[in-house]
Chains A and B, each alone.
Chain A
Amino acid sequence: MEDFERQLRDALARKEQPPLFEAKVFAAIAESKSKRWVSWRWEALAASLLALAGFWAQHEHAVRDRVAGEAAKARLQLALKITVTELSKIQRTVRTTEE
């Protein structure tokens, strides 16, 4: 029992910190913070680049879509113009013949 009490007392007894312990702890904390900051900056940069690439791809797709759409509209206009003109010519000839 005495042995146990002695062990407990030793364990709970205040011990002096080794010299420079506090400085080492602060240095370790500072280093850890610095590493985390550098890592965070790289992650932010990568995310920004990814977002930029996504935005650019979306913009390019929209531009290509618009160009193709406008071209299709112009072709449609031309096709309808030819169709209407030919039909009108035929209609006019038929009317002329009837008269």
Chain B
Amino acid sequence: MIAIKTILVAWIALAPLGAQEIKIPASLDRLAAKASEVVDVTLDANLLQLASRFLSDKDPDDVQVKKLIGGLKGIYVRSFEFEKPGEYQDSDVEPVRAQLHTPAWSRIVGVRSQKSGENAEVYVKTGNGKIGGLAILVTDPKELTIVSIEGSIDPDQLNELGGHFGIPKVDTRKEAGHGKDE
């Protein structure tokens, strides 16, 4: 009886962690009207499965992507580019940030550039010693990007995608004359 109670309590305590997914607030969609460029990608488990069926088993790039998305439950991207600064407020991003400031999520990178005003954060959701989700939040005076990846993901695999599958190879070496970041 005690064992059943313990399992029940543990399940109730852990259930919210398992169900914790980043919900993109509907208020962000209002920004689309002000933005000069909008990217809105919603790929749930079904669409990922569908896309996976159209990835070749012979093409090495497709195989790599297939492997990467094999453990994913969803990919959600919202990206807005504005003509001028100040088109969105911190309050627009706050609901997303609040969801990431929970025990399930850990911020692994936080970059803030005083010169450009860019603020970038990378969060991972960990559980059972594995990464169960990845979230990227990039705010810039004229740009806002939110990426939420649900499911088991290996960031190294993501990095290896550069130069493949139509994804440009990004040079991660130091740029000449880059501004002072903190």
Contacts and interface: CB of A to CB of B under 8 A. Distances in A.
Interface residues of B, number: 45
* B interface majority secondary structure: mixed
Interface in A62-99: 66, 68-70, 72-73, 75-97, 99
A77 B175 contact: no
B93 to A, nearest CB: 15
B149 interface: yes
A72 B162 contact: no
A83 B69 CA distance: 13
Contacts of B171: 92
A88 B126 CA distance: 21
Top-8 shortest CB links A-B: A88-B170, A72-B51, A69-B54, A79-B41, A76-B51, A73-B51, A79-B75, A73-B54
A69 B51 CA distance: 5
Contacts of A91: 159, 172
Given A83-B75, A83-B77, 5 more contacts: A75-B41, A78-B77, A82-B39, A84-B158, A93-B111
A58 B109 CA distance: 50
B28 interface: no
B54 to A, nearest CB: 4
Contacts of B3: none
Interface in B1-47: 39, 41, 43, 47
Interface residues of A, number: 30
Contact of A86 (B68, B145, B173): B145
Contacts of B168: 81, 85
B172 A92 contact: yes
Contact of B174 (A69, A85, A96): A96
Contacts of A76: 43, 48, 51, 65, 69, 75
B145 to A, nearest CB: 6
Nearest to A68: B50
Nearest to A99: B174
Most buried by B among A75, A77, A83, A91: A83
